[in-house]
A and B are shown apart, each in its own frame.
Chain A
Amino acid sequence: MPPDIASEEGLSNTPRAQQFAEGNKLEVGILWRITRMGLAHRWRMATAVGATVAAAIFQLFIPRYVGEAVDHAQGLLGSGAGTVSPAMAEQALWGAGMMVLFFSILRGLFTLLQNYHGEGVGHCIGYELRLSFYEQVQRLSFSFHDKVHTGDLITRGMLDLEGVRMFISTGIIRIVLLTVLIGGSAWLLTSTNMVLGMLALSFVPFVGWRSAVARLKLRWMWLLMQERLSVITRRMEENLTGIRVVRAFGAQKFELDQFEIASDEALEVAIQRVTVRVSNTTMMTFAFFASMVLVLWVGGLQVVDGEITVGVLAEVLTFMMILQMPVRQIGMLVNSFARASTCGARLFEVIDREPRIKDRAAAPALKLEKGVLRFEDVRFSFGRDSGDARVLDGVSFSVGPGETLGIVGPPGSGKSTIAHLVPRFYDVTGGRVTIDGQDIREVSLDSLRAAVSVVQQDAFLFTASIENNIAYGDPWSDGERIARANRSAQLHDYVAKLPGGYETLVGERGVSLSGGQRQRLSIARGILSDPSIVVFDDSTAAVDAATERRIRLALRAGQDKRATVIISHRLGSLMHADEILFVEAGRVVERGSHAALMALGGKYHDLYRLQSRPGDDHGVEVAPLGETS
């Protein structure tokens, strides 16, 4: 595996040519890996393969009896009544007929087993892959999810997974079937008649060569097509999401032109692909029929010369009829291989990735005593290179139970990053973060994140009831506790008024909540399990000031055992904090209580003036609801 795949920096976005070249190298490895997964289901796989072989063998026997029947019918005709009695011939016909029927039934039953278990193994693998993919999505750290489009992950977890799963039935089982059928008929054909057999099979090498060539071409086009289609998708999606902007600027025509260009480019490849695919499959069929012509010609001459019987020729031709289906399937096999290897590469790229943030071996659980959070000279940058801009540069603070720390600063100053470092969504690049003296990198993630709660800016709602959404971090909590947390977040009254109350479904398919309501729900979610350390990351930006104040008062009640960090650009949210840090460009430039910072007359003071109403100098002091407006 190339080294860059192992690092957690997004998914490969390598140029097509490189993808193509690497894909060819990786292909065998990926297909073998899928096969191994299939082989792990020993019994099912063995049944599928065994049934496949049996079904193919029975299918091969059928022409033999047909040929025999033809010879019996013909033998009587040719040599007159003397040699074979009509009764015997009739008996032989009955025998052949019954054998054909019997073998057909067996073939059907074995084909059933073959398909059912072949698909079954595929579904089992699909199930296993689903689980690993899901687990992996949950494990991979923020730095991965920051870089990878959700749409890309969804495609990999759904469509690519299908492509891999199908490989068992459309690839492996089919290749067994085709090998037995073509190999078996090659043996039977050549043993029936060497020359005719060779002629009958003369199309095989040709088809093999064609499919090898076509496979490469098709794969290349597939990559090209994906690229062009994704442009169309992006154009459409952005247009529809930004439809108001498009209309506001009367840009429909412009957008349509852009769409047209993207469409034409995709169409060009699509049509090329059709031509390649069609010329490939039709050539295969042609080669097959051409060898049939040869068989009839050469075989016919042999019959005329009396070297073989008509029955032999009929048998060879019947064999060929049976081969018509497998020949068509070689094309599909090629497709299945190409699809499985490409999809597999994309799927395994996610599954194999090592998350950047994970537990050390045998990491102990966090031992909470008081719950003191300390940042000690913390430095952080997103990239790994030393050249990357520092997001945090030497941030130190300490906040203990009952204390509140406020963090303020211009956008991009690193405020949110501080919030993300506490539950170890990212690891520091220098210095350390400790809770009660334990470096958070030394304790287990589960215990750390259970003790810490970060209420984030953008509240995500799951498709579930409001109650389940609030109880997300502690699904065992009872209704009373949920309501209490929700009361503190000032959302209870609203929920109680809903027709479905706490059972009301929210999220993608449910009732839609306003930005402020979502944030309040997220606050309720964050405080439900009484974490020792809570970080509010600008989590009231969309909540009106009066409600925010009520939330703050409600939270104060349980605050004596909890360390609170409030990040906001609204000073009213944090001016009551015990200590306030003013952060700029990743550094703490001012720190102290509100009064001390005001006395300092620095940046905090300026910001405070800025947020007060212009021209009303006294506004701050008398703000009736404790706001800074």
Chain B
Amino acid sequence: MSVAEQTRHPPKAVVGSQVSQDEEMFGRAFDGRVIRRFLGFCKPYKVGLAISILSVLVYTATQVAIPLVILYAIDNALVEGVRDRTLLELVVLLFAGVVILNYGANFLQENLVGRAAERVLIDLRRAMFTHLQSVSLSFMDRTEVGRLMSRLQSDVNALQEFLETSIFAVGDLVLLAGIVVVLLALDWNLGLLTLSIVPILFVMRIIWLPRAREAFMKAREANSIANGALAEAIHGVRTVQGMVREKVNFALYNDRARQNLLAHLRAAKFAQANVPIVDTLTGGAMAIVIVVGGNQVLGGTLDLGVMVAFIFYVQRFFDPIRSLTLQYSFMQRAMVSGQRILEVLDVPIAVQDKPDAIDMRECEGSIEFENVTFGYVKNQPVLRNVSFKVKPGETVALVGPTGSGKTSATALVHRFYDIWDGAVRVGGHDVRDVTQESLGRHVAMVLQEPFLFTGSVFDNIRFRCTDASRQAVIDAAKAVGAHDFIERLPQGYDTVLEQRGANLSLGQRQLLSFARAIVADTKILILDEATASIDSYTEMQIQQALAKLLEGRTGLVIAHRLATIRGCDRIIVLQDGEIREEGNHDQLIAAKGMYAGLYTLNYASFDDVPEELADELADAGSTT
């Protein structure tokens, strides 16, 4: 290998994924199930669609009629011997009428279908989005947002192409049938002879299609791979520059782009191979009309007008075939997209309100777990037979090493998932007996990674409680100590947070999410304390805010910091989905169990404890 070659292709370098990101791109062109489901989405617009199908028929009829009108004019008013001015003028009037009808029908069909298509697309998007609001969180955990977005966008857009053109497909089919009928009606023999070239076209296409399809698929794949590499370059640009990988990456990307170019050129070759075939056949059909038809005219067995009409029709005959080919590929793509959209719509809703679910108006704020067993994967329980109770106003810390089931336990209070066995009660009600909406009114959650939306600070704090006054928001911000830094932002509370608050520090975002919980003012607060990455200053602020936040509420806290844990009324130590120890700090220290062991190790945070040490302690704890 030459030196130059080596610099271009280092052994341990690639850009982007080696395989296409798209699943099967060319599915079946027809899938009854998909079609049926989509007809359901078209139902609300059936009147408009019915009118537009009617318009298509009228439109196509006028298209077919135009050459007939001309034929009639030639044969009855223009050929030597029968020249008739009045008749001509009548026919011209008729022609004008047909053209106006054509215009009206054309406008109606395209406009109605275009409108309905836009509406159906929005409906589809809405249906998916609405559905995603209630599918199980375990599905959302497993699925990348990017992939969902591509279904919400690319797939819906692929359908747009199809829906907007689908009406033309109907028109084309009708036109094709109309032309065949008219040709045969005008002159049976000449019609048959002319149409005899159609089977040749089909044979040619059958030979061509599989090879073309392969070329198209390769082109799409190459495109997707090159795009994937570009996306990676954009996302990872900071590392690329820091590691001086620009030249290597460029050379590798060049290969990708070049393969994409070659694949597309090959696909273009196949796509265009069709053109001369169709043109030759059109020419052949016209030649047949001229020679055979012309001779019949000479022999007096055919009217001249019929021959002219034949020529018109033959020229138009291949237009619908051509656009139907195009339609076919739109349809294939639409079917694939349709299947993907249905996949999203068919994700089961794991957690659903019972039909007789009650609306929990009042809640005194107790939480109770009774023999709860739960897991995400069959036969792999994350929580085993867990029972505990949190009294109203009490604050309980959940403590334990990573993977002990703390987060799962808190998620169950909000009924993010349904349990396998046992019962979770909030305010004395089994969470499965109340509406999720009313449960949400009494339980607020502060997540480890605070999530902010694009919008003003004000809107972010009041979030769902859109009726919260400005004063309430400011009070909440003051309570958690966020007021000062908010005031320092360029527009204070009205500052718009770009890119989900990327311009704020993690600690500041945390404080905002605390304020949000205060505005929501629920009886029960579930808090997942942030782990390591907060600096000590903010940490102090957060500790103070936390105390404020838990005032007068029932608190279930996944605690990492010893300071937080010691501030709680009670501590529950979880390991491997089971409760190990329970009690307050002093009791647990006195018990000399796992908690005491962890504590004496002197880590500021339990998450700092290396796994092997935690295991050791757990073993020690269980033997004492």
Min CB gap A470→B, angstroms: 9
B242-A317 in contact (CB<8A): no
CA A240 to CA B506, docked complex, whole Å = 20
A517: interface (CB < 8 Å): no
CA distance A168 to B473 in the complex (A): 56
Interface residue stretch chosen among B274-282, B362-370, B377-385, B569-577: B274-282
Contacts A90-B295, A286-B103: A130 and B230 contacting too (C-beta < 8 A)? yes
Known contacts A267-B119, A274-B115, A453-B242, A249 near B520 by CB under 8 Å = yes
Contact yes or no, A285 B106, CB < 8 A: yes
Q: Which residue of B lies closest to A476 (CB)?
A: B10
Cα of A617 to Cα of B77 in the assembled complex, Å: 115
Binary contact track B538-581/A, C-beta < 8 Å → 1, others 0? 11100000000000000000000011000000000000000000
Given that A115-B275, A260-B126 are known contacts, is A449 also in contact with B244, CB under 8 Å in the complex? yes
- CB-CB under 8 A from B80, the residues of chain A are 74, 77-78, 310
Query: Which of the segments B23-31, B172-180, B311-319, B326-334 contacts the partner chain?
Result: B311-319
Q: Which residues of B contact A462 (CB under 8 A)?
A: 14-15, 232, 236, 239
Given known A-B contacts A90-B298, A242-B453, A322-B315, A303 and B304 have beta carbons under 8 A apart: no
Residue of B74, B250, B533, B602 touching A627 (CB-CB under 8 A): B602
Q: With A150-B235, A293-B99, A629-B603 as known contacts, state yes or no: A282 contacts B110, CB within 8 Å.
A: yes
Chain B residue numbers with a CB within 8 Å of A133 are 230
How far apart are the CA atoms of A131 and B499 in the complex, in Å?
28
Interface size class of B (residues with CB under 8 A): 35 or more
Instruction: State whether A300 touches B111 (Cβ < 8 A).
Output: no
Whether B283 contacts A89 by the Cβ 8 Å rule is no
Residue B92 is within 8 A (CB to CB) of chain A in the complex: yes
| Residue from the list B254, B269, B307 in contact with A131, Cβ < 8 A | B254
Q: Are A111 and B604 in contact (CB under 8 A)?
A: no
Which positions 137-169 of chain A face chain B at CB distance < 8 Å?
A: 137-142, 145, 149-150, 153-154, 157-158
Complex CA–CA separation, A239 to B88 (angstroms): 67
User: CB-CB < 8 A to A32: which residues of B?
Assistant: none
- Nearest CB of chain B from residue A502's CB, rounded to whole Å: 10
Contact call A127/B260, Cβ cutoff below 8 A:
yes
The distance in angstroms between the C-alpha atoms of A411 and B319, with both chains bound, is 67
B45 at the interface (CB under 8 A from A): no
Q: Which residues of B contact A141 (CB under 8 A)?
A: 241
B35 contacts the other chain (CB 8 A): no
> Hey, which chain B residues are within 8 Å of A103, CB to CB?
283
Query: Is A29 an interface residue when CB atoms closer than 8 A count as contact?
Result: no
Q: Does A70 contact B (CB under 8 A)?
A: yes
| B464-A468 in contact (CB<8A) | no
Chain A residue nearest to B75 in the complex (CB) = A310
A613 to B564, CA, bound (A): 12
**Cβ of B170: which chain A residues have Cβ within 8 Å of it?**
none
Q: Assess whether B304 is in contact with A101, with CB atoms less than 8 Å apart.
A: no
Q: Chain B's nearest CB lies how many Å from the CB of A226?
A: 13
Within the complex, which residue of A127, A263, A472 is in contact with B239, where a contact is CB–CB below 8 Å?
A: A472
Contact of B297 among A74, A245, A254 (CB under 8 A): A74
A569 and B535 in contact, given A293-B99, A629-B603 (Cβ under 8 angstroms): yes
Within 8 A of B (CB), among A414-461: 423, 425, 445-446, 449-450, 453-454, 456, 459-460
Instruction: Please determine whether A475 and B532 come into contact, CB atoms closer than 8 angstroms.
Output: no
B 447-463 to A, binary, CB cutoff 8 A, 1 in contact else 0: 10001011000000001
Q: Are A304 and B83 in contact (CB under 8 A)?
A: yes
A260 to B127, CA, bound (A): 11
Query: Which residue from chain A places its CB closest to the CB of B441 in the assembled complex?
Result: A250
The yes or no answer to A190 lying at the interface (CB within 8 A) is no
Across the interface, which residues of A come within 8 angstroms of B315, CB to CB? 318, 321-322
B261 touches A124 (CB 8 A): yes
Check if B79 sits within 8 Å of A77, measured CB to CB: yes
- Cβ of A7 within 8 Å of any chain B Cβ, yes or no, is no
Instruction: Determine if A93 and B77 form an interchain contact, defined as CB atoms under 8 angstroms apart.
Output: no
Give every chain B residue within 8 A of A544 (Cβ-Cβ): 607-610
Contacts of A275 in B (CB 8 A): 111, 114
Q: Are A137 and B237 in contact (CB under 8 A)?
A: yes
Which of the four size classes fits the interface of chain A? 35 or more
| Known contacts A66-B286, A66-B290, A300-B73; A119 and B268 CB within 8 A of each other | yes
Is A497's CB within 8 Å of the partner chain B?
no
Which residues of A294-348 have CB atoms within 8 Å of chain B's CB atoms?
296-297, 300-301, 303-304, 310, 313-314, 317-318, 321-322, 325
A73 to B311, alpha carbons, bound, how many Å? 14
Q: Which residues of B contact A77 (CB under 8 A)?
A: 79-80, 297-298, 300, 304
Let me know if A69 is at the binding interface, CB within 8 A: yes
Type the 1/0 row for B118-156, where 1 means its CB is closer than 8 Å to any CB of A: 110010011001101110010010001100110011000
B268, B278, B516, B602: most-surrounded residue (chain A CB, <10 A): B602
A615 CB → nearest B CB, Å = 9
Chain B residues with CB below 8 A from A475, complex form: 10-13, 245, 248
A112 beta carbon closer than 8 Å to chain B? yes
Name the A residues within 8 Å of B228 (CB-CB).
463
B610 and A158 within 8 A (CB): no
A280-294 contact mask (Cβ, 8 Å, vs B): 1 or 0: 011101100110110
Give A318 Cβ to nearest chain B Cβ, in Å. 7
Kindly provide the distance from the CB of B81 to the nearest chain A CB, expressed in whole angstroms. Answer: 8
Could you say which of A69, A126, A464 has the most chain B C-beta atoms within 10 Å of its C-beta?
A69
In the complex, whether A546 has a CB less than 8 A from a CB of chain B is: yes
Cβ-defined contact, A473 with B244, below 8 A: yes
A471 CB–B CB distance under 8 Å: yes
Give CA–CA (A467, B11) in the complex, Å.
11
- A256→B437 CA distance, assembly (Å): 14
Is A138 within 8 A of B233, CB to CB? yes
Verify A248–B444 contact, CB threshold 8 A. yes
Which residues of A577-615 are within 8 A (CB) of B? 607, 610-611, 613-614
Would you call A623 an interface residue if the criterion is a C-beta within 8 Å of the partner chain's C-beta atoms? yes
What are the interface flags for B298-325 relative to A under an 8 Å C-beta threshold, 1 for contact and 0 otherwise? Answer: 1010001001100110011001000000
Bound-state Cα–Cα, A108 to B283, Å: 10
Residues of B within 8 A of A611 (CB): 536, 604
Complexed CA–CA distance, A108 and B282 (Å): 10
Question: Are B133 and A101 in contact, with the CB atoms below 8 A?
Answer: no
- Given known A-B contacts A123-B261, A130-B230, A134-B253, A569 and B536 have beta carbons under 8 A apart: yes
The answer to whether A104 touches B279 (Cβ under 8 A) is yes
Instruction: Report if A97-B287 is in contact (Cβ < 8 Å); known contacts: A74-B304, A256-B129.
Output: yes
Q: Is B102 an interface residue (CB 8 A)?
A: yes
Give the chain B neighbours of A76 by CB distance below 8 A: 297-298
Contact A411 B439 (CB under 8 A): no
Interface residues of A in 162-191 (CB under 8 A from B): none
The answer to whether A313 touches B78 (Cβ under 8 A) is yes
Does B440 lie within 8 Å of A107, measured CB to CB?
no
Contact with B along A242-269 (1 / 0, CB 8 A): 1111111111111110011001001100
Known: A293-B96, A462-B14, A623-B602. 16 other contacts (CB 8 A): A74-B80, A77-B300, A78-B80, A115-B271, A130-B230, A131-B257, A158-B230, A236-B152, A245-B513, A246-B133, A254-B464, A274-B115, A296-B70, A473-B245, A476-B12, A607-B537
Q: Could you write out 30 A-B pairs with CB less than 8 Å apart?
A: A66-B290, A72-B294, A77-B298, A89-B298, A97-B290, A105-B283, A108-B279, A126-B264, A130-B260, A137-B230, A236-B149, A241-B500, A242-B451, A245-B463, A249-B463, A251-B440, A270-B122, A274-B114, A289-B99, A300-B78, A450-B244, A463-B228, A473-B244, A482-B12, A508-B144, A542-B532, A544-B607, A627-B603, A627-B608, A629-B602
